[in-house]
A and B are shown apart, each in its own frame.
Chain A
């Protein structure tokens, strides 16, 4: 599903590469934690998957497509197969829960009837039934993140990328978020989650890829956050 072949990415403002000859394979339906200190290359990895950045060396394949050969005007179609969740939720404050989720479908031109059918299903899937009419500022952090996940998943992407989705949420609520992500993973969606949250990684016992200074220092199935544990 995601295939990195000896990928190097250097940002022009920095000497040290953000990713340094990284080769990673993520299969369809996998759940992968991406761990490592800040600046280890986690976000760069996610940006390369979305083709927000281009690698300086190596090849990136996502959903069977060689991104180097993907023309710019086809990038939106790639992104429709990838859902994204962020630490800061990125909801639209002037739209309610339903509208926020529906927005993702409206802007790719889905018919209204389809939207009316699908959005409530996804809102229920993330555990927000009965809150479709709420505005984001009336929701807790955990609930807002659920809306963001619903928006990322409403188009049934093959891949869900999550960049520290629990970074702004207390540990108890984080467990709920992880359950939602796990539920999504069980529908066959590949989930890649970058995180600093050791407790979550340890409790889930999923594949863990650890990056440090742009290198893969550990790739472990059913791993934990740090080797010290």
Chain B
């Protein structure tokens, strides 16, 4: 095996079909970037899920004068006795890690602080007293959510029980949608890339049919004849993959960082996950190109 010979043949092939090579690299890069983007979102969602699952809180709103719920209409605002009873219930529940009680004033203050910076109109529209006093309950495990919720719902003075879960689910759905959209487009692009690679290798095989014909005649092994073409595909795939890696890193540090800032939490996607996504994308690119080249050669390079 003479590496230098094979490499120079590969280089000649890449250069001879330069425009096609560029087209292949571009298509591969775009499709892999989309694919990697999809993977990245997927990783981000699962990391966020585990982050939030550990921190999920339940908020128990108490009845006040303006509560629309039927129980509140019937029984009037929650009394101190109701609150004491609820405290006792929560203390008894093993699923409850702990809780804090916020008076209506504190709840309004908290709301102003959390929402005020991003949505001033909403913050100004809210009056003290709009938000009823409430209990913030931390659970030992997010799976106990329904148990606790059912236990306290209907207790005297309780208006409603809500959690971050429902808000997060909407966000997850959005990200899931994004992920699938990216993956579907990536798939279509990858198919287009495969066709392009097939065509390029076919052209390459055709333009070098004289050389391959002689190689066949003088008894070069099939592997030796095919190797430059396979490498040509692999190199295109690799370059495309590397460019895609650049896109993926850029996506990580612009788009996802923005999403994180928007949600005011720090679940920075670890370097490990980023490397995983990049690795998978590059390997996929190289494999796709090599396998397509191989299949094309079987049809167009008679051995």
Contact = CB atoms under 8 A, between A and B. Distances in A.
Contacts of B219: 76-82, 108, 155
A79 B218 CA distance: 6
Nearest to A115: B2
Interface stretch (B42-50, B140-148, B207-215, B234-242): B207-215
Count class of interface residues, chain B: 10 to 19
Contacts of A80: 218-219
Interface in A60-99: 72-73, 75-84, 90, 92
Contacts of A146: none
Contact of B303 (A50, A72, A90, A108): A72
Interface in B259-296: none
Contacts of B303: 72, 75
B111 interface: no
A104 B218 CA distance: 6
Contact of B224 (A50, A83, A104, A107): A107
A155 B215 CA distance: 13
Contacts of A75: 303
Contact of B216 (A72, A79, A155): A79
Contact of A90 (B1, B213, B221): B213
Given A106-B5, A107-B5, A109-B2, A76 B213 contact: no
B284 to A, nearest CB: 29
Closest 7 A-B residue pairs measured CB to CB?
A: A80-B219, A79-B219, A107-B220, A104-B218, A76-B219, A107-B215, A76-B221
Interface of B: 1-2, 5, 210-211, 213-222, 224-225, 303
Given A84-B218, A107-B220, 16 more contacts: A76-B220, A76-B221, A76-B222, A79-B217, A82-B219, A83-B218, A90-B210, A90-B214, A92-B210, A107-B5, A107-B215, A107-B224, A108-B220, A108-B221, A152-B218, A155-B218
22 contacts: A76-B216, A76-B219, A76-B221, A77-B219, A79-B218, A80-B218, A80-B219, A81-B219, A82-B219, A92-B210, A104-B214, A106-B2, A107-B5, A107-B214, A107-B215, A107-B220, A107-B224, A107-B225, A108-B219, A109-B224, A152-B218, A155-B219
